[in-house]
Structure 1
Amino acid sequence: MDAFELNAEKRTATGRAENRRLRKSGRVPAVIYGGNGDPVMLSLEHNDLNHHLDNEAFFSHIIKIKINGGATEEAVLRDLQRHPARPFIEHADFLRIVAGETLRMSVPLHFAGEDECPGVTDEDGVIQHNMNDVEIECLPRNLPEYIEVDCSKLHLHDSVHLSELVLPEGVEIVELMGDEDEQTDRTVVSVQVPRAAIELEAEEEAEAEAAAAEAAEGEEDDAGEDDGDSGESEGEDSDEDK
């Protein structure tokens, strides 16, 4: 796959004050670690990094990081910290990759065929995404940009599980690795009855139950009145007999 490229500068000073200074100057504190090297503290140009983040593929691609204009490290984005209220990136973590060594990454799921799915077009269902990404394990050279989920043949109440995904060669899903009793074959996507329809059905059932209860109560009241009338008649007859 094509790699993204970032220019980075080494930094030696650390701490909150230094990080604040970097951010004010338009740079993002970062670190690269793992692989066969020691952790290296870096800083990146904020706007450049932010531009790359607009591309979904950046989160699951190999990134070439050129340090101080010289040596280049290959890595993947491992973690990203954003400001909770402002559109700023506060820190980035990169994991080195080593050819021949597997790595674990979360890659996005792309859902295909939703518009032609029989459960939606013919049976008035709606697509429900239970997962938007999946953690995989593979060699760096096999790292996919995304994994496609085919929804084109799903009927109402059908679903696709992790074990049913078509994976690129050399790619495994972490949740399906190991012994069977350790695996978690989660639902990825399903076709369900729309929530509005479920709520309407529940409302209609509640109204029907209320009407039935009211009718039953009315019948009990009528029966009680009939019993009272019978009592009075019997009393009158007794007086006449006397």
Structure 2
Amino acid sequence: MKKHEIVGYNRANLGKTGSKALRAEGYIPGVLYGGKSQVHFYAPAILFRQLLTSPEAYEVTLNIEGDEYSAILQDTQFHPVNDQLLHADFLEIVEGKDIKVEVPIRFVGTAPGVQKGGKLIQKLRKLKLRGAVNRIPDYVDVDVADLDLGKTIKVGAVTLDGVEILDGPLLPIASIEIPRSMRGKTAA
């Protein structure tokens, strides 16, 4: 997983009023849980941009007034109208404890169905994985070299060492769609 650092400050005022005041000043309130105790903090909104705009999974180093925690972004809350980040939840990475994280899918190889005029349709963008943080890959590589016209590759075809895939094995990852212009030719 890629690394990212967020420098923040401990929160004194918890609750709606304190959170609103922080947001007005350009800060995002957050909470870190999963360790010995919960840590309520706030950090500048700009530090969250890379985490939210990139499809990659990040291991985040939270530096809260000198105390460093290793964590992953677990959940975010956005404003329903203007899509501004309102709150961020982080899960602390504890040694020897598995984490659950979504990792982006990357296609490897050239599908013969695409070379014949078909269109590769990506049905799933990320896979849910569980495992030790040092075993979680940056990407899940899916080989599409065997995908022909009308064929589908499913989650069950993907294998990863030391990491458990939490998505159902029958869930489709990608398929090759037969173009309308070729449908009549293949049926005849």
TM-score when normalising by structure 2: 0.88
Alignment of 1:188 onto 2:188: no
Q: Rg larger in 1 or in 2?
A: 1
Question: How far, CA to CA, are the matches of 1:86 and 1:61 in structure 2?
Answer: 25
What amino acid maps onto 2:22 in structure 1?
L
Q: Counterpart of 2:13? A: 13
SS at match of 1:131: coil
1:87 CA displacement: 4.6
Q: Counterpart of 1:120? A: 114
SS at match of 1:84: coil
1:32 CA displacement: 0.4
TM-score when normalising by structure 1: 0.70
Q: Counterpart of 1:61? A: 58
Do the aligned residues in 1 keep the contact of 2:2 with 2:138 (CA within 8 Å)?
no
1:3 CA displacement: 2.2
Question: How far, CA to CA, are the matches of 2:38 and 2:103 in structure 1?
Answer: 24
Structure 2: stretches of 5+ with no match in the other structure: none
Do the aligned residues in 2 keep the contact of 1:148 with 1:166 (CA within 8 Å)?
no
1:110 CA displacement: 1.4
Q: Counterpart of 1:25? A: 25
Compare the two structures and name the one with the higher strand fraction: 2
Do the aligned residues in 2 keep the contact of 1:102 with 1:140 (CA within 8 Å)?
yes
1:188 CA displacement: 1.2
Provide Cα deviations, 1:70-108, integer angstroms capped at 9, x if missing partner: 110010000112223325211100001111111111111
Do the aligned residues in 2 keep the contact of 1:50 with 1:89 (CA within 8 Å)?
no
Q: Alpha carbons of 1:91 and 1:197: their partners in 2 closer, same or farther (altered >3 Å)? A: farther
Question: How far, CA to CA, are the matches of 1:152 and 1:184 in structure 2?
Answer: 19
> Structure 2 residue aligned with 1:159, among 147, 152, 155?
152
Q: Counterpart of 2:162? A: 170
Question: How far, CA to CA, are the matches of 2:78 and 2:140 in structure 1?
Answer: 26
SS at match of 1:20: helix
SS at match of 2:134: helix
Do the aligned residues in 2 keep the contact of 1:136 with 1:173 (CA within 8 Å)?
yes
Provide Cα deviations, 1:188-217, integer angstroms capped at 9, x if missing partner: 1111213x449x86xxxxxxxxxxxxxxxx
Q: Alpha carbons of 1:51 and 1:161: their partners in 2 closer, same or farther (altered >3 Å)? A: closer
Q: Counterpart of 1:50? A: 49
Do the aligned residues in 1 keep the contact of 2:61 with 2:71 (CA within 8 Å)?
yes
What amino acid maps onto 1:121 in structure 2?
Q
Which is worse superposed, 45-54 or 146-155? 45-54
1:55 CA displacement: 3.2
Q: Counterpart of 1:96? A: 92
Q: Counterpart of 1:178? A: none
How many percent identity over aligned positions?
28
Greater RCO, CA 8 A, separation 6+:
2
